[in-house]
Structure 1
């Protein structure tokens, strides 16, 4: 597995800026605003089926489980669990998983998966980062996890909420650079790309909060195999927020040129990117 310890980068500051320390929470909010980040539940309800397929096809789950090394006695809180990308495989290795998500469709897919695979120790909970977790019946846990779900306005509040919930360990993952965004897709439809905040922001904010976190990278490959041209369009359109009919037509045309027949389906030239896995011992364990 490709994973290694990686030093936290520092943000660039112009010579004209003073020596005041960066407020990494404010920097996170500004970067999200520039990139036009959206995280409404309606967006995720629409993305749920294709997201579930993409997440399970990348090799991400196996690498995360190797890093987490789950123990049979653990209780895990999976915040932003989606359709069970990690909640379901974790449930086979730990005592219980509380799976929190604000998308009803994601939780519906999670329930269907658990029923199909005979998993009975996952408790789906409809809720968000901003909700009162105690009011939702969520208590403390051994491990708190936020896997690719840090799309929040207030990063400091989210990190501290995870820290307060866990007894043993906290894991969060964030993209490195562009992460899963494929600039070829945006170029194909005629859109520019404004990078959003990546792992540097939570890693440095944790340091600013006095929390010593480990940062390791895992390499995953973007989805490369598709059943049909329609399947490829559906699984890649999420990168283009609110696409117009013209943009979808351009995406289809580009894919028709770029996809190659392979093993009964279609293949796109592979692209490898990285996720940063940031973990630390919470306050109750320090």
Structure 2
């Protein structure tokens, strides 16, 4: 068998189904919008993402899964128009509130999901998808991104398949609940005739900085769903065994940063 015979898009879809991860409804992100808005607009991740972008000749930008404007708002001052696309109404409310606070009048919210009809979504010079690609069908998501960019596409996808330290997933017996690693994306792009540039961004664990065990457990449950009593007991032991490790939330996360020029 050669690599050309492997259907990585189908393997990705099978992996997503096998992981048995319930998709987060818009209401789940609505509930987190204000907290995320306070935290994510100033981060090393944003700086690392933006410094890898080539903005030359670009006047319009589409940010898919924009949240409260994490990446698109720092770029908006240099653009004629920025479109923030998200399926969470509260995230878009935060996007516009943050834009107003920055005196930006060129930001347009689009309430839409990856799976929706994008026929009314504007084609822009640049399309980005930052930490928003844990979708059921990444091939179709890539095709949509590619078709909505004139000059360049930028996206990040999880490295390693876990949104928390793998040790915690193993501890909870949830080691099977992975999302497909970025290498699927690279191979799907290759199959589509797209040859991306590849880099990596490292960020602290999303479990870092929990003020107490209850907050820590809540963060873990966001990734894995409701925890049983036995799982909470095991997690508490892990948390209390090493305070420094607990403060850091375990090991860091890595994101694969991929970029390419769109092809017809």
- Same fold by TM-score greater than 0.5: yes
> Could you tell me how far apart the structure 2 residues matched to 1:52 and 1:248 are?
29
Contact 1:72 1:93 in 2 (8 A): no
Query: Do residues 272 (structure 1) and 257 (structure 2) align?
Result: no
> Could you tell me how far apart the structure 2 residues matched to 1:113 and 1:245 are?
40
Mapping for residues 246-285 of structure 1, pairs under 5 Å: 247=231, 251=235, 254-260=238-244, 267-268=247-248, 271-283=251-263
Query: Do residues 161 (structure 1) and 144 (structure 2) align?
Result: yes
TM-score (norm 2): 0.84
Distance 1:51 1:167, change over 3 A: same
Query: Do residues 117 (structure 1) and 102 (structure 2) align?
Result: yes
Map of 2:223 onto structure 1:
239
Mapping for residues 1-286 of structure 1, pairs under 5 Å: 21-39=5-23, 40-52=25-37, 55-56=40-41, 59-71=44-56, 73-135=58-120, 138-178=121-161, 180-187=163-170, 190-194=172-176, 195-223=178-206, 224-244=208-228, 247=231, 251=235, 254-260=238-244, 267-268=247-248, 271-283=251-263
> Could you tell me how far apart the structure 1 residues matched to 2:166 and 2:78 are?
37
Gaps of at least 5 residues in structure 1 are 1-17
Gaps of at least 5 residues in structure 2 are none
Distance 1:42 1:243, change over 3 A: farther
Distance 1:155 1:208, change over 3 A: same
Instruction: Spell out structure 1 runs of 4+ moving beyond 4 A.
Output: 49-58, 227-231, 244-254
> Could you tell me how far apart the structure 2 residues matched to 1:102 and 1:269 are?
29
Distance 1:62 1:130, change over 3 A: same
> Could you tell me how far apart the structure 1 residues matched to 2:119 and 2:234 are?
47
In the TM superposition, what is the alpha-carbon distance from 1:272 to its structure 2 partner?
A: 2.5
In the TM superposition, what is the alpha-carbon distance from 1:167 to its structure 2 partner?
A: 0.5
In the TM superposition, what is the alpha-carbon distance from 1:257 to its structure 2 partner?
A: 4.6
In the TM superposition, what is the alpha-carbon distance from 1:50 to its structure 2 partner?
A: 4.9
Map of 1:14 onto structure 2:
none
Residues 46-98 of structure 1: CA deviation (Å, up to 9, x unaligned): 44445556645762111000101435842111111122211222223333210
Aligned length: 260
> Could you tell me how far apart the structure 1 residues matched to 2:81 and 2:224 are?
36
